[in-house]
């Protein structure tokens, strides 16, 4: 039996710190997409409450219980991150492991908003994008899920194959902001 070695899409990438800005790879643990079947939303919510203490998020938001988070990720879909999914969810939703398919980049700092303003055509200021917000947008032209984990912390999730490009775009924008 061949033993496969898991390799991160950005393995070996060192964190980048420029002045107060900090950029690094985040490990959110397991990532599972949860897409409720038609008419199963309330049954799914009951299982989510029982198994994870979470409710399915409304668009552009997330719900959290300790390390478990449910991030809205598109129409009729959310990503469960941090914990393995309760087996009972599969009766009410399409449950798909996405752990190796996505790369999460963490951007932290008082000027993180200014960095992302160069890349994302959505208002990410705290008033329009509160802590917990989880929205789909493009980083340059890369489809991404942007989650505000804390007032000065953004998690940028992109598909694995875009990891290197997303790292490049954000780090270049960081250099631009830091040079001002």
Partner 1 sequence: MRLSCPLCGPRDRREFYYYGSDDYLNRPHSDPQADASSGGWSDAWEDYLHLRDNPAGRLRDLWYHEGGCGAWLAVTRDTSTHQVFDVALVVDLKGKAGS
| Token pair recorded at residue 10 | 């950005």
Min dist CB 60 to partner 1, Å, is: 7
- Name the token pair of 171: 């780090």
Give, as ranges, the residues between 61 and 100 that touch partner 1 (CB under 8 A). Answer: 74-75, 77
Which of 142/177 has CB closer to partner 1? 142
137 near partner 1 (CB under 8 A):
yes
Binding partner 1 (rule: CB under 8 A), the pick from 138, 160, 164, 165 is: 138
CB of 121: closest distance to partner 1 in angstroms?
A: 5
Closer CB to partner 1, residue 83 or residue 119? Answer: 119
Q: How far is the CB of 57 from partner 1 (least distance, A)?
A: 12
Q: How far is the CB of 162 from partner 1 (least distance, A)?
A: 13
Task: Write the CA distances from 107 to 54, 90, 116, integer angstroms.
Answer: 25, 33, 9
**Rg over CA atoms, the chain:** 17
Sign of CA dihedral 152, 137, 167, 169: negative
CB 99 within 8 A of CB 20: no
| Nearest residue (CB) to partner 1, 30 versus 76 | 76
Least separation in angstroms between CB 74 and partner 1: 4
In terms of CB distance, is 51 or 74 closer to partner 1? 74
- Does residue 60 interact with partner 1 by CB under 8 A? yes
131 binds partner 1 (CB under 8 A): no
Q: Which residues bind partner 1 (CB under 8 A)?
A: 59-60, 74-75, 77, 121-122, 135-138, 141, 143
């Amino acid at each position: 039996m061949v033993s496969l070695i898991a390799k991160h899409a950005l393995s070996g990438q060192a964190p980048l710190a420029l002045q107060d800005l900090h950029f690094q790879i985040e490990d959110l643990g397991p990532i599972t997409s949860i897409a409720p079947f038609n008419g199963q939303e309330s049954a799914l919510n009951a299982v989510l409450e029982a198994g994870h203490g979470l409710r399915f998020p409304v668009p552009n938001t997330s719900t959290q219980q300790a390390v478990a988070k449910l991030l809205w990720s598109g129409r009729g879909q959310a990503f469960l991150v941090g914990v393995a999914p309760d087996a009972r969810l599969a009766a009410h939703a399409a449950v798909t492991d996405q752990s190796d398919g996505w790369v999460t980049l963490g951007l932290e700092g008082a000027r993180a908003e200014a960095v992302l303003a160069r890349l994302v055509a959505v208002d990410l200021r705290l008033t329009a994008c509160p802590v917990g917000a989880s929205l789909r947008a493009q980083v340059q032209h890369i489809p991404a899920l942007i989650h505000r984990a804390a007032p000065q912390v953004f998690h940028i999730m992109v598909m694995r194959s875009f990891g290197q490009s997303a790292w490049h775009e954000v780090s270049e924008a960081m250099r631009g902001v830091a040079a001002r």
